[in-house]
Structures are given as structure tokens and as C-alpha cells.
Amino acid sequence: MAAVTIPATALLLPTKAVDVTPAAGRHIKKILARESGKMMFRLSVKKLSGCLGHSYVMDYVTDLNADDLQFSVDDDLVIFVERSSLRYLRGICIDYIQDEHGLNGSLQFINPNQAAACGCGKSFSVEEN
């Protein structure tokens, strides 16, 4: 993987706010290696009008937003989180799960802030303070 230049505006935070399992880390690195020009993994939360109100948004990007926070996973992987999404994502664990045949897999989010999840697995709600 090519070296990534991280803008000075991105704040480096301890990884405990965002945890990535080794399987998820390998999967993300594999996708980044395949994506032409995409060098970084960015996670944010989008508010939805239907279902349960929030959805995870994963982006493989070349540029960051000025208010992105960065979490070092290891020497080869840094996860970027939209600052306004951190309240929904703090303490999240990202895992990669494959089906019993090993043919299909997906990133799974184990989020301690999640109060409920939609049956489709695409949206979630949090307890608002």
C-alpha cells in the first residue's frame, strides 16, 4: 500500500474509540489495495428519515474532510471518522464476518451506543440524551 499523507487538521486519537478486528483490518486493506487511487477508509453516520434513524456510511476516499478524526489501527491502517459522527461511534468494534462457505462476507458493526437495529441490518437507533 502506498504511503498516505495525513493532513495536519486531522486529529490523531487513541484506537480505543474505534476498534477493528484483525479480520476487518485485512478486509479493509484488501479493498484499499484494489481501489484505484483510494487510500483511506472513512466511517460516518447518516441520519435517515425512515426505519430507525441512523445508518453507517463507509467510504474509501483519497481526501479527508477538514473535521475528520483519525484512529490508528496499526502501522498500515488508519480509520477516519467524521467528527459529528463520533458520538454515535465511540467504542464501536468493526469486524468482518464470512458466511459458512467463506464465499460472502461483510463488515459488521458492534456498537455499544446502539439501542436498536433494523431487521434489514442497514439502520440503527441510539438513546438520545
CATH code for 11-126?
2.60.300.12
Between 8 and 75, the more confident residue is: 75
pLDDT at 74 over 60: yes
pLDDT tens for 19-67 read 999 999 999 999 999 987 778 899 999 987 667 789 999 999 888 888 8
Domain definitions of the chain by residue range = 11-126
pLDDT at 101 over 90: no
Q: Report d(CA 76, CA 3) in Å as an integer.
A: 9
pLDDT of residue 25: 94
pLDDT of residue 16: 66
pLDDT at 1 over 50: no
pLDDT of residue 49: 64
pLDDT of residue 76: 83
pLDDT band at 129 (very low <50, low <70, confident <90, very high): low
Kindly state the greatest CA–CA separation across the chain: 44
pLDDT at 13 over 50: no
